[in-house]
Structure 1
Amino acid sequence: MPHTAHDHGPHHETRRDDDSQAELLDLDAEVLSEHIAAITGWLPVDGNPRRIVDLGCGTGAGTFALLTRFPEARVTAVDSSVDHLNRLRDKACESGVTDRVHVVQADLDAVWPDLGEPDLVWASASLHHMADPARALRQIRGILTPGGLFALVELAGFPRFLPADAPAERPGLEERCHAVIEHRHAAQVPHRGADWGPWLTAAGFTVEGERTIGVDIEHSRSEAIGRYALASLRRIRGAVADALPADDLTALDRLLDTGGPHSILRRDDLAVRTERVALAARRA
């Protein structure tokens, strides 16, 4: 956890997939850092939480935002990927916060490790990947201290980068790619896009706040947006190539050819457009 696309092939392909996903998670954290900080700043915490758990931490976007927001806290970062956790540990070392981060490798669909009694549990873009989210929510409620807060953050949609009329030879290409992903995820990731409020109530939480964070960042704000778009579309290609018309695949490959004249890195009209939904729930 979390996963942003499909797993492919044998072990060497899995390692390559992990590397590309880690790159994408790092770019996501870099480009959307202000939005992540806005969510952590909005959380209706009681006092200053000292013990935080980040479920499905990836390479640490939430972990480091929480460490910044709560400078006296320690974070237990949980993920199923050893590579992601190693990357997170390296970042913690570089940032001088190793003593405030404890990593735990675990598949939460199988066995929940001992995560102590946190004051705050954070789960960003991870709950919808769990096989049984209702069970996971009951587990989260069970480990929270009385009055503890659970912060649930989910993507309202995958980021879009291109204008609607791009590329010139195949306008609307990006939306057609996303349509393929949406169709496949409806079966493979059925809980993505769920209305989590009733799930939280059923698990014994009281929802104290809900916020939708709109993201619309122009390319001029950061050259990282080009790299973010490239990494995202590369992963999208791996997920949709077998379902795209030949002309769409050709146009997509032109965008992904970093040495070619149509490379997405050469475009000056990119943006990051998406939404994130955040819910804050108290253990009832």
Structure 2
Amino acid sequence: MSKKSSATEARSTVEAESAAVYSATMGPYRESSLDILNMFEKSFSECYEGVVARSDVLQKPQFLDVACGAGNFTFNNLLPRYMAHCRRIVAVDKAPSMIRFAKLHHKHEKITYDTLDIVDGDIESFVRQHGLFARVFSFNLLHWVKDPVRALKNIEKLLAPDGECFIIFQHCIPMFEVNMALAESERWKKYAK
């Protein structure tokens, strides 16, 4: 065995183990993401109805999960919640090892796993391959990327007309000000009562 193939094999083993460790230890993050998704579910569902009503597409829309990691949240939470509302969920991650793990452990006919770097990836090629999305989810990604503004611009390029995104990320922001801004916005003020 050559040094190069030995090093490649060792790296492959470490990546597979990393995906398994990630899958096993991210429970608290998945739970907090689910809590936030549940909190906004009612308003999100109403928005979903509006997107579908304005769509010229006769088939059900597709959703995208950006930075799906090992696929746990996509498979265990997004799929059961939205299976009836979409034709498929495309779940992407930058790390090929995560996608391999997800395909092996969280496969389903309505989930397509693929690699995509949301900052530096070829978004146009991805759209040609998969199409646009009525809804884009991203849970706990933006605080890890080197260029969050570019990531957001790329997420926008993935959205279908009238599509929407649901993004959770950690950042030091004054939550009172955020809550007040939401409570005063046209879209959200009816939920602030």
TM-score, normalized by length of structure 1? 0.45
Instruction: Assess if the C-alpha contact under 8 Å between 2:119 and 2:150 holds in 1.
Output: no
**What's the counterpart of residue 144 of structure 2?**
129
2:98 pairs with 1:84:
yes
Instruction: Assess if the C-alpha contact under 8 Å between 2:90 and 2:111 holds in 1.
Output: yes
2:49 pairs with 1:35:
no
* Structure (1 or 2) with the larger CA radius of gyration: 1
Distance 2:12 2:121 in 1: 26
Q: How does 1:146-165 map to 2 (within 5 A)?
A: 146-155=161-170
Aligned residues: 153
Q: How does 1:1-284 map to 2 (within 5 A)?
A: 11=11, 14-15=14-15, 16-25=17-26, 27-28=27-28, 35=35, 38-39=38-39, 41-42=41-42, 43-44=44-45, 45-47=47-49, 50-64=61-75, 65-72=77-84, 73=86, 74-93=88-107, 98-113=108-123, 114-115=126-127, 116-155=131-170, 192-193=171-172, 208-209=187-188
Q: Aligned residues: percent identity?
A: 19
Q: Which one has the bigger helix percentage?
A: 2
Aligned AA (2:117): D
Deviation per CA, 1:201-228, whole angstroms, max 9, x where unpaired?
Answer: xxxxx99459xxxxxxxxxxxxxxxxxx
> Structure 1 residues 124 and 31 mapped into 2: Cα distance closer, same or farther (>3 Å)?
closer
| Secondary structure in 2 matching 1:148 | strand
Distance 1:140 1:102 in 2: 18
Instruction: Assess if the C-alpha contact under 8 Å between 1:89 and 1:103 holds in 2.
Output: yes
| Secondary structure in 2 matching 1:20 | helix
Distance 1:57 1:152 in 2: 12
Instruction: Assess if the C-alpha contact under 8 Å between 1:109 and 1:132 holds in 2.
Output: yes
| Secondary structure in 1 matching 2:106 | helix
Distance 1:50 1:91 in 2: 25
Instruction: Assess if the C-alpha contact under 8 Å between 2:67 and 2:91 holds in 1.
Output: yes
Deviation per CA, 1:229-248, whole angstroms, max 9, x where unpaired?
Answer: xxxxxxxxxxxxxxxxxxxx
> Structure 1 residues 30 and 46 mapped into 2: Cα distance closer, same or farther (>3 Å)?
closer
Distance 1:122 1:19 in 2: 22
| Secondary structure in 2 matching 1:145 | strand
Deviation per CA, 1:87-120, whole angstroms, max 9, x where unpaired?
Answer: 3223433xxxx22111111222321341421000
Instruction: Assess if the C-alpha contact under 8 Å between 1:40 and 1:66 holds in 2.
Output: no
> Structure 1 residues 99 and 195 mapped into 2: Cα distance closer, same or farther (>3 Å)?
farther
Distance 2:24 2:186 in 1: 33
Structure with the bigger RCO (C-alpha within 8 Å, sep 6+) is 1
- The CA deviation at 1:129 is 1.5
Distance 1:18 1:92 in 2: 13
> Structure 1 residues 39 and 59 mapped into 2: Cα distance closer, same or farther (>3 Å)?
farther
Aligned AA (2:132): E
Structure 1: gaps spanning 5 or more residues: 1-9, 156-191, 199-205, 211-284
RMSD: 3.6
Aligned AA (1:35): D
